[in-house]
Amino acid sequence: MRRAKVVAIIQARMGSTRLPGKVLMDLHGRTMLERVVGRTRRASLIDEVVVATTSHESDEPIIDECRRLDVPYFLGSEDDVLDRYNRAADAHHADVIVRITSDCPLIDPTETDRVVRAFLDSHADYASNFIRRTYPRGLDTEAMSAATLAHAWLEAGEPYERIHVTPYIYGHPEMFQLLSVTGREDHSNYRWTVDTPEDLQFVREIYRLLGTRETAGWREVLSLLRANPKLAEINQSVRHKELVEG
């Protein structure tokens, strides 16, 4: 019996509303996209990593960066990200899709593996570590079957469902078997994703302090914050956008 092919698809585009071009901004000598790709590649249960960007001319620098990083890329819709994901999954013959966003440069491959393993062992339709959030925002990992993604692609009709890829899935627990992957303690008050200049400043400072430990896992970052509590104040006032805001 053929083993399921697990493909991590990292969505990336230059047109962020609050911080345009953020995915190629420098984080202590590497672009944010390079950080995310590198960390995702270290997840042992992922067979292939693909960057899903758009055919818009503004995203040509992302294509250039993918070529530099020697990572496959897929060009799809700018606004219908669900369509972009479904077509990328089909093009790379994915049985299991792992969704990662390019604004999470502290994504932890160990936790990504944890979500994927839980998904594979449970035979669920969808698993994530934020249905009930206990991890810092910025470690978000989702795993779903190709059939589940295709179902959402066919049925999701609200604009925010197309933009954010998976709300149709976790918004219909009566239709899909959902699996919530949680930690033992609640660290959901931490914000490690990059959506504003304050977020960028925070993550840059983290990587500066990590120095040669640039592959540090999330618990090492947490220890760093506990030893330097003022770091978390850099972006603690940033409001996370609601799904309907795009």
> pLDDT digits over 22-47, tens only?
999 999 999 999 999 999 999 999 99
CATH number at residue 54: 3.90.550.10
Q: What does the pLDDT read at residue 2?
A: 73
Length in residues, the chain: 246
pTM reported for the whole predicted model: 0.96
Residue 242 has pLDDT above 70, yes or no: no
Residue 99 has pLDDT above 80, yes or no: yes
Q: What is the dihedral of CA 107, 110, 115, 118, to 10 degrees?
A: 180
Distances (CA, A) of 71 to 40, 74, 144, 190: 11, 10, 22, 30
Using DSSP's 3-state secondary structure scheme, residue 196 falls into coil
| Average pLDDT of the residues in 161-169 | 97
- Of 81, 75, 74, the C-alpha closest to 160 is 81
Establish if 236 belongs to a structural domain. Answer: no
Give CA–CA dist 160/79, Å, rounded.
10
Per-residue exposure over 13-23, b if at least 16 CB sit within 10 Å of its own CB, e if not:
bbeeeebeebb
Q: What percent of the chain has pLDDT over 70?
A: 97
Strand partners, 144: 97, 126
Confidence of residue 243 (pLDDT cuts 50, 70, 90): low
Contact between 201 and 105 (Cβ < 8 Å): no
Confidence of residue 244 (pLDDT cuts 50, 70, 90): low
Confidence of residue 17 (pLDDT cuts 50, 70, 90): confident
Residue found by looking up tokens 């990504």 in the block: 112
Establish if 241 belongs to a structural domain. Answer: no
In single-letter form, the type of residue at position 4 comes to A
Which letter does DSSP use for residue 85 in this model? Answer: H
| Average pLDDT of the residues in 143-160 | 98
Establish if 102 belongs to a structural domain. Answer: yes
Write down the mean pLDDT value for the chain.
95
Establish if 34 belongs to a structural domain. Answer: yes
Residue 246 has pLDDT above 70, yes or no: no
Other Cβ atoms within 10 Å of 28 Cβ, number: 16
Residue 146 has pLDDT above 80, yes or no: yes
Establish if 24 belongs to a structural domain. Answer: yes
| Average pLDDT of the residues in 164-173 | 98
Establish if 115 belongs to a structural domain. Answer: yes
Residue 239 has pLDDT above 80, yes or no: no
List of residues 6+ apart from 1 with CB closer than 8 A: none
Q: What does the pLDDT read at residue 18?
A: 87
Q: What does the pLDDT read at residue 212?
A: 86
Q: What does the pLDDT read at residue 241?
A: 66
Establish if 129 belongs to a structural domain. Answer: yes
List of residues 6+ apart from 81 with CB closer than 8 A: 11, 52, 162, 163, 164, 165
Q: What percent of the chain has pLDDT over 90?
A: 90
Residue-range definition of the domain harbouring residue 172: 6-188
Give CA–CA dist 172/154, Å, rounded.
14
Establish if 204 belongs to a structural domain. Answer: no
The domain total for the chain is 1
Q: What does the pLDDT read at residue 214?
A: 87
Per-residue exposure over 41-61, b if at least 16 CB sit within 10 Å of its own CB, e if not:
eebebbbbbbbbbbeeeebeb
